[in-house]
Structure 1
Amino acid sequence: MESFYALLGERHWVFHDTLSLEAVETRVVSAGSADAAEAALIQWYREEGNLSLLLRQTRAVPEVRPRLPLLEKALEDYQAGRFYASTLVLLAMMDGLVNDLESPRRGMHAREGSDFDVWDSFIGHAQGLAAGQASFTKGFFKTSTEPVHDLYRNGIMHGTLLNFDNVIVATKAWNRLFGVVNWAQARATEEKRRPEPSKPLGALLREIGQQQKERALDQEALSDWAPGSWTDPANTNPTHPLYQACRDFCLAWQAKRYDRMADLTAQQFRPKRAIEAVSRAYRGYALHSFEVLRVEHEALAAGWATVQLHSNITTEVRLRWIAETPDGESWLPSRGEGQWRLVAWEAPATQLWQQGLTSRET
């Protein structure tokens, strides 16, 4: 994270916790210069599927959900190269989101940098959201047609900065949106952990001490953790919990244990009446056998598994997994036991259907 901000902090890019750590380390930080690092980060955001996945994950914040139809249109504009339209929608959605989250109600444009200080998240870094507010709220009172490459919300929304239709500004708008969502999640966690003011002083001090221990535990885990990947994980790393979860999901599919399959779906993306929904998606496709070909542990609480499925046809599918607490929060060591759960839970059945499997069970 420090290397990221050393290159891109002055350009007001934000390190949010849904960024791919592998991409940051192997592409952005290794780029060497700020220009190359910025280009590499933009390239990662523009790769097929990355923005769509990040956008789906924002559903975890209730205040984002009513804004998703407009955010999806902003994504369509961005992918079609209509960067001006995408930027304007994203700026408006950020204002409304912060307005709904904070009391007194004020949009993001009316906030001080200190309003975005949180300690239990990457987003609380001194060069994160708080630092970006300086340019976000900077006033522009004279019309300019000079090229703009920063997210100057004031000048863009008020029509004084006219030359902002470019991929850098539009991608920074997405980056800032995910930072705001990250801040909202960290803020909610901070509210839950805030001690009751009516507690005795001794109890308060003990609780604060426990919180400091938990934070130190999480920071140590984040510092020590490194990404890894294993081909043929059944032999190279058979005890990895992500491999075990993927294997359990496929075994449950073979046994038609839809209740167990539903239990292995991420709570953030779990449908209502989950067992019924999983049964409806999978009961037409018998899984004869499978092999977990590769496991990629790319972030502390996120990873991928590549699985070969043998039904009436053979196909490969790449599955996104996240580690959650029993309550559905993103897992950290201080939050106790974690469980790997599948994000795009319909993907294996959908893949078989798309590949042309026609023989269905009744």
Structure 2
Amino acid sequence: MSKSKKIIDNPTSAELIKQFEAFESLEALYKAFPIARSLFPGMEQAFTEFKKIKEQAEILKVPDRFNERFANLGFIAYESMNIEVMQEAIKIYDTDGKDAAEQYLADSYDADCLEWGIRWFNSSPEFRRRIRLAELARVDYLAGRHHACIPLLLSMLDGLVNDVSNHVGFFAESTDVTAWDCIAAHESGLQSLVLLMTKGRNKTNDESISIPFRHGILHGRELAFDNKLVAAKVWAALFAARDWAVALADSKKIPKPKEEKSWSEIFAQLAENNRQKKLLEEWKPRNNHEIPYLPHTGEASHLPSGTPERAVAEFIENWIAKRYGLIAKSLLYFTDDSIGKKSGRAREDFGSWVPISFKVLSIEDQAAAVSHVEVELTFERENEPIFKHASVRAIYQDTENNALIRTESDGVWNIVQNSFTDILYASRL
């Protein structure tokens, strides 16, 4: 279990704070020696920007503040949780009380939240296998059938933790759902939920509950568990468990101590940051009306090289030709599996429904490293065409999966598999 008492003590947050302190020391030196101002005239602006960044870094304290208020109520902070939702919940808790804050949090687990949460299941193989069940639980939850979705979600949570840990389920006495440098798996997070949700319920209870007591619900002692608040808390626990699973898959072990950077290295990094900032300021999203080749129905090679639409078109051509190895190389991954495993997974996911043609409809450049390419896919069933729409998310990255500004020359466009979720996991097109 983590020795840190607070999430902000996690290595990633602690390293950022350490860098802030180092930068403040650098600023003091810069101001103490006038010659530095003539040698590095642009540094004054860098220090001004740093002050803004440091103010924004207050966000690092939000997970701890959230858990202090909500962990004993059944909600915890986790990596993929919307930080603005956390902040608003804290504000409501402090001004209007816990009941209003809990209601706000329950309402935040809406159709959009669940859609994105389930899409991220693809980042863990154990979660991927349960997407079908998660979709069924989502349908029941959104329809208000909490009596149906809560037991299903609880059973999924237990089985998932068992599969990920190769040891015991979420609700076992010896379970360990901590991980190094992980918000969800901090000792104040998932591990506290285990203790809360496994509390004994030895008497049959007719009164409504607000905590998803696993034993009471699944053993029939809680007779009024079926409400939105309990359901939302189980969804939250499930999404937090996904972030824990990803942390384990990323081999979040205690790393070797980092070498201290020299002042020359710090200045070089500042210069690189300024260069990237300039590139970002120069980049502008395209307007669909100004793209002459839309809509596009021809070969991918006829689209401009290096564009997200070219990458998406090539991806779909490989799908049509059942080139699963090339499909695997084009997908965005969160785990470092071998290419053989990735190819097998691509065959499993993309082999059930294979399109016969496609059309690129439009392009939305959402950020310097992100575009959505709207496509129409044509499938065939019983000699009749079936048309399916997909909004394909493409991300420009370097070889280490870091996002790059698209005007950089050494990146590639990777495809987010969740863009095709409604097609890949459909029982029937």
- 2:141 equivalent in structure 1: 78
Q: Confirm whether residue 35 of structure 1 aligns to residue 109 of structure 2.
A: no
C-alpha deviations, 1:321-345, integer Å up to 9, x for none? 6687858xx869xxxx997733257
CA distance in 1 between counterparts of 2:212 and 2:396 reads 33
SS of residue in 1 equivalent to 2:246: helix
C-alpha deviations, 1:238-290, integer Å up to 9, x for none? xxxxxxxxx8212446899957x95554246997369x98xx75x84554x96
CA distance in 2 between counterparts of 1:255 and 1:100 reads 35
**Matched positions, count:** 289
Partner amino acid for 1:169? V
1:1-362 equivalent positions in 2, closer than 5 A:
1-25=63-87, 27-32=88-93, 33=96, 34-48=98-112, 50-103=113-166, 105-112=167-174, 115-190=176-251, 193=253, 208-210=256-258, 234-235=283-284, 248-252=307-311, 264-267=330-333, 272=346, 284-285=357-358, 287=360, 292=364, 294-295=366-367, 305=371, 320=393, 326=399, 341-344=414-417
C-alpha deviations, 1:282-305, integer Å up to 9, x for none? x84554x966454399xxxxxx75
Q: 1:342 to 1:111 in 2, by over 3 A?
A: farther
C-alpha deviations, 1:12-64, integer Å up to 9, x for none? 21222222334444x4345454334333332232134x313321321332223
Q: Is the 8 A contact 2:202 2:221 kept in 1?
A: yes
- 1:197 equivalent in structure 2: none
CA distance in 2 between counterparts of 1:160 and 1:31 reads 33
Q: 1:185 to 1:265 in 2, by over 3 A?
A: closer
Partner amino acid for 1:79? L
Q: Is the 8 A contact 1:7 1:37 kept in 2?
A: no
TM-score (norm 1): 0.62
Q: 1:126 to 1:343 in 2, by over 3 A?
A: same
Q: 1:296 to 1:35 in 2, by over 3 A?
A: farther
**Shift of residue 160, structure 1, vs aligned partner:** 1.2
Q: Is the 8 A contact 1:294 1:306 kept in 2?
A: yes
Q: 1:44 to 1:284 in 2, by over 3 A?
A: same
CA distance in 2 between counterparts of 1:267 and 1:155 reads 38
Same amino acid, percent of matched pairs: 26
**Shift of residue 101, structure 1, vs aligned partner:** 3.0
Task: State which structure, 1 or 2, has the greater radius of gyration over its C-alpha atoms.
Answer: 2
Partner amino acid for 2:206? T
Q: Is the 8 A contact 2:208 2:225 kept in 1?
A: yes
CA distance in 1 between counterparts of 2:315 and 2:177 reads 47
CA distance in 1 between counterparts of 2:316 and 2:222 reads 58
